Amino acid sequence: MTSSIPHICETVSNDLITLARWMAGDFSNYKQAYENPKDYAHIHVFFRPLAFEFFSGIGLYSEQVYDYDLWRPYRQGVHRLVDQGDQIYIENYSLKNPLLYAGAARELSILKTITPDCIERRYHCSMIFQREGDRFIGGVEPGNLCLIEKNGCQTYLHSYVEITQTTWVSLDRGLDVNTHEQVWGSTFGPLRFEKKESFADEIPNIL
């Protein structure tokens, strides 16, 4: 059992539930990709709620896939939402054998096979969100310690995310740990997604 996962029910805020419900869905940047096909591929970002028992709280499974290859996600993760009062802290976990769970965001029978034993905490890579009016603004936790190696170069993640009830805007960039120059990520600006399907009704009601 993954020891870093607590198994007690925690009090959560309205903001945490709202953020979870807004995140839960199938997001597509079809419009952006159609208007700028040379700069942007057509991508789906899925966030599917996990059963309450997984974290004894609110958790999500995520996939990012190209529209032409829905069964081969290029990014998968598990996320635990934690209420910290003035902000929402989202722990990120990787899957030990991610290909075993490809398609879990669309097929609940696959989603149910994911257990806490299947995941590992990605330390220093949590996200922090704060409510700003009709949206949540977030990014990777401070410290420049979410390290990702690309093409033999050690980089740290710099991210920006903006979420509303119907949209998701994100920009992930990898910066060289020594020069702080961009090594990977979009050079054309953020990805802009629109929610095509909501899974908000699958979020446990624990208020």
Nearest CA to 200 out of 100, 60, 89 is that of 60
If one counts the domains in the chain, the total is 1
Q: Tens of pLDDT along 58-117?
A: 999 999 999 999 999 999 999 999 999 999 999 999 999 999 999 999 999 999 999 999
Give pLDDT tens digits for 118-167: 999 999 999 999 999 999 999 999 999 999 999 899 999 999 999 999 99
CATH code for the domain of 114: 2.40.128.590
| Residue 126 falls inside a structural domain | yes
Cα distances (angstroms) measured from residue 124 to each of 89, 100, 142, 156, 201: 12, 25, 8, 10, 31
Burial of 142: CB neighbours in 10 Å, binned 0-12, 13-18, 19+: exposed
Task: Judge whether 205 lies within some domain.
Answer: no
Nearest to 158 by CA among 147, 149, 169, 168: 147
Asked if residue 4 belongs to a domain, the reply is: no
In a domain, 177, yes or no: yes
Contact status, residue 164 vs residue 192, Cβ threshold 8 Å? no
The Cβ-side half-sphere exposure at 61, using a 13 Å CA radius, reads 27
| pLDDT for position 73 | 97
CA dist 117 and 48 (Å) reads 19
In a domain, 133, yes or no: yes
Whether the per-residue pLDDT at 5 is higher than 70: the answer is no
Residue 204 in any domain: the answer is no
Residue 207 pLDDT level (bands cut at 50, 70, 90): low
Residues 152-161: contacts with CB within 8 Å, 24+ apart? 153/183, 155/183, 155/184, 157/125, 159/127, 160/190, 161/127, 161/129, 161/136, 161/137
C-beta neighbour count of 68 within 10 angstroms? 8
Per-residue model confidence (pLDDT) at position 184? 95
pLDDT above 90 for 10: no
Contact 10, 83 (CB under 8 A): yes
In a domain, 108, yes or no: yes
Whole-number Å distance between alpha carbons of 186 and 6: 36
pLDDT at 12: 67
pLDDT greater than 80 at residue 11: no
The mean pLDDT of 33-60, rounded to a whole number, is 97
What is the extent of the structural domain holding 133?
14-196
Higher pLDDT, 131 or 204: 131
Q: The pTM is what?
A: 0.91
Asked if 61 and 45 count as a contact pair (C-beta separation under 8 A), the reply is: no
Averaged pLDDT for residues 181-191: 93
